[in-house]
A and B are shown apart, each in its own frame.
Chain A
Amino acid sequence: MKKECIAMLLAGGQGSRLYVLTGDMAKPAVPFGGKYRIIDFPLSNCTNSGIDTVGVLTQYRPLELNSYIGSGVPWDLDGSTGGVHILPPYMGSKGGTWYKGTANAIYQNIGFIDLYDPEYVVVLSGDHIYKMDYSDMVERHKAAGAACTISVMEVPWADAPRFGIMNVDGEDMITEFEEKPKEPKSNLASMGIYVFTWQVLRKYLEADEADPHSENDFGKNVIPAMLRDGQRMAAYRFSGYWKDVGTLESLWDANMDMLSPESGLDLLDESWPIYARSVNAPPAFLGKHSQMSHSAFNRGSIIEGAVENSVLSPNVTVGEGARVAYSVLFPGVTVEPGAVVEYAILGEGCRIGKNCRVGGTPETTAPAPWGLAVLAPGCTLEDERQVRPGVMLGKNGEEVSR
């Protein structure tokens, strides 16, 4: 079945900078914004952009991700002539290997892509929060007659040295790519979203695979090789909300952004819906003594305490007299009566015992070093326990260093 365009979603990374949150699951499966998982964003963008065939490349701890994606129904990706396909590494008659890098992951699935014989392949990563119309980017790719189009956004000049920076000419064609330049010549940062003309990419993937010195990575190897050969490389400027949620701090930030549509992340806007696999539970109940302000919450939750500036996933319980502030609570978290949780990320199913104290505000912590308190999924705190700001706890309540 020929398709004009299909998407390949790189979802195999561990996301080691999310530490305990990705101990048992790949980063794209991490909850976000109350009812979502990170992967809902690229998957929904695909559907909304008219892309109905998506390969999801999995490798690290795929169980959670596989069961979440299922048959792809929530994103309308269960069509009979496409849909979502989970693509793990596999064995062949001459053995097999893990995905050695982003480019190698696509290389190992040339067979899958060829099934659809597409003109264009969109390569996405599974750790960004944004709403983007990929079809518009493909239009730019076609109009520019490019072999590769990379989406870029302007970042503050001071931050530019942290990104992969694209230098462009007057027509926004890429002339140079610099990974984390000390003295950036431009402030256009790559967002890790690529459109390739498939037949061109296919050749470069084969060449890259044949090179024993290559790290088989798009950013480090394939893109530079294409630039060296003088392939037409277009930049596609994006100006909406985009955030890499690869660190605990950026994940927390993006959740807070969700509370304020002024941040540019407006999840209530129904013209570009983000779909999610929905949880089966009755509506949230706010009890007689609940006090909630500037917070998001979800079905199955029972709130009897105070919650402010926080994002609560489904099936969260906050007991009477408990207080949750500036925190992100993943599904099924229980905060028992009298406990206080401030500036924290609590993993799925955490239980905070009565009168515990988790985290603290930057003001009350000074002059001691401050940071987010982070609890691994399934962590249970016995009553009265204190968890200082910046501390991270593993599944069994043990302290884990960052």
Chain B
Amino acid sequence: MNGMHGIIFSYEMRNDLRELGEIRSASSIPFGGRYRAVDFALSNLVNAGVTDVGVVLHGRYQSLLDHLGTGKDWDLSRKRGGLKILPPFAYKQSWGEAAAFRGKMEALAGVRSYLAEIRRDYVVLMDGDLVVNLPISDIYEQHIKSGADITVVCGNDSFETENGTYFEMDHSTGRITDVLYNLHRPRGYRGLEVYILSTELLLSLVDECASRDQYSLRRDVLQARKDSLKLQGYIWSGFAAQIRSVQEYYDRSMQLLDPAIRADLFCAERPIRAKATDKSSAYIGPDGYCENSLIGDGCNIEGTVENSILFPGVVVEAGAVVRNCVLFKETAVRRGATLSYLIADKNVEVLEGRTLMGHSSYPIVLAKGSRV
């Protein structure tokens, strides 16, 4: 049976997410006033006709498990195939310090028996913390046409990412000529950690790496085998955010206030699906004021909101002012409080009259459930 199988990697503690990463993996971080980061990878795959997706867990995955459920919201709850959650303990029998894998190849070796059951000829590897709307069918088509062993999807913007992988490319052939990371000053294209390769090749690479205790996809496969394998680049010029630090999270969130970015990320041909919620409509009161903001379901705005992103159920009481903020689900901003350049995790309450000001270069983060 032809087609693609999806594998999504979910990493614990991606570098610098501070309080946001303490309770969840980057894959389940809320993004864009309604979504979790992993919704993007899942939707990208489903929109390309992928029906089988494995999610490889790492650590702090309770929030992700809770979000994924049976996969019904992405039509991935199926009789055959569908969503499979692959816990990190599968690959080694021992608990303890060895519980988390060191890299993607080791993670894949851990789920070798799952890989052996793949029904499709090709596999798409993606990261759960990549916020993007890729035309995976087109990338697949290019992969087949170019005769590549591995197609490497690269971003094309000025953003850098923490601990990113960079690729240099021969523009006449599209072939990847060098694979770089840990660069002091990045050069080449920023890799989005999205790869397409044949299931057969993936299995043989997993086995070869395992036999040499090699665990890193970028070092042991891409870098080490860049000459023996045909690595072909696919350049994506649209929005593509890798959420690995608070700063990156904040900057990328604020970009969504630009209609052109939203048109790209939420394009109608490839809808991003999210978990259904049961909140009522959002409401703005007689004296409420709101401009240049994204507002989720069930928000109740009696105060002022500017340049902000409000997730469902946020309450902004009369006289409160919220500017340049990202407020997660059920945040309550009480009367007369003033917030700016701040990210509030779920269920935060900012009491009457409090003032909290961050800066665009260092947004304040309020941990889940905190009361200020």
Contacts and interface: CB of A to CB of B under 8 A. Distances in A.
Contacts of A285: 257, 259, 262, 293-295
Given A268-B300, A280-B271, A282-B266, A287 B292 contact: yes
A294 B297 CA distance: 15
B295 A278 contact: no
Contacts of B289: 291
Contacts of B296: 283-284, 299
B103 to A, nearest CB: 34
Judged by DSSP, the binding face of B is: loop
A296 B343 CA distance: 25
A328 to B, nearest CB: 12
Contacts of A73: 72
A298 B293 contact: no
Interface residues of B, number: 37
A290 interface: yes
B281 interface: yes
Interface string B279-316: 01111111111111111111010000000011000000
Interface string A271-303: 001111010111111111111111111110010
A267 interface: yes
B281 A296 contact: yes
A33 B257 CA distance: 27
A274 B259 CA distance: 32
A290 B290 CA distance: 7
A287 B286 CA distance: 18
A290 B295 CA distance: 13
B281 A35 contact: yes
Contacts of A280: 271-274
Given A35-B281, A268-B280, A282-B34, A290 B291 contact: yes
A306 B233 CA distance: 47
Interface in B249-271: 257, 259, 262, 266, 271
Instruction: Pick from A74, A258, A288 the residue with the most CB of B within 10 Å.
Output: A288
Contacts of A33: 280-281
A296 B280 CA distance: 9
Contacts of A312: 281
Nearest to A273: B278
A287 B257 CA distance: 9
Question: How many A residues touch the partner, as a band?
Answer: 35 or more
A292 B281 contact: no
Contacts of B211: none
Instruction: Pick from B273, B285, B295 the residue with the most CB of A within 10 Å.
Output: B295
A259 B283 contact: yes
B292 A296 contact: no
A282 B281 contact: no
A43 interface: no
A274 B298 CA distance: 12
B1 interface: no
A283 B286 CA distance: 21
A299 B280 contact: no
B276 interface: yes
Contacts of A35: 280-281, 297
Contacts of B259: 285, 302
Nearest to A297: B282
A274 B278 CA distance: 7
Nearest to A34: B281
Contacts of A286: 290-293, 295
Nearest to B266: A282
Interface string A158-189: 00000000000000000000000000000000
Contacts of A74: 276
Contact of A296 (B33, B282, B287): B282
Contacts of A273: 278
A282 B283 CA distance: 17
A297 B295 contact: yes
A293 B288 contact: yes
B298 A268 contact: yes
Contacts of B363: none
Contacts of A296: 280-283
A298 B286 contact: no
Contacts of A283: 32-34, 294-297, 309-310
A280 B269 CA distance: 12
Nearest to A35: B281
B277 interface: yes
Given A268-B298, A283-B32, A283-B33, A278 B276 contact: yes
Given A282-B34, A282-B272, A283-B32, A294 B284 contact: yes
Nearest to A298: B281
B123 to A, nearest CB: 27
A8 interface: no
Instruction: Pick from B259, B276, B280, B295 the residue with the most CB of A within 10 Å.
Output: B280
A311 interface: yes
A293 B257 CA distance: 21
Nearest to B292: A288
A294 B33 contact: no
Interface string B8-39: 00000000000000000000000011100000
Contacts of B277: 278
A293 B285 contact: yes
Contacts of B273: 280
Nearest to A267: B280
Query: Which 6 pairs across A and B sit closest by C-beta, in order of nearness?
Result: A34-B281, A283-B33, A296-B281, A267-B280, A278-B276, A283-B294
Interface of B: 32-34, 72, 257, 259, 262, 266, 271-274, 276-278, 280-298, 300, 309-310
10 contacts: A73-B72, A276-B278, A278-B278, A282-B34, A282-B266, A284-B282, A285-B294, A288-B292, A292-B290, A294-B286
Given A281-B266, A296-B281, 16 more contacts: A35-B281, A73-B72, A259-B283, A267-B281, A268-B283, A274-B278, A276-B278, A278-B278, A280-B272, A282-B34, A293-B284, A294-B284, A294-B285, A295-B283, A297-B284, A298-B281
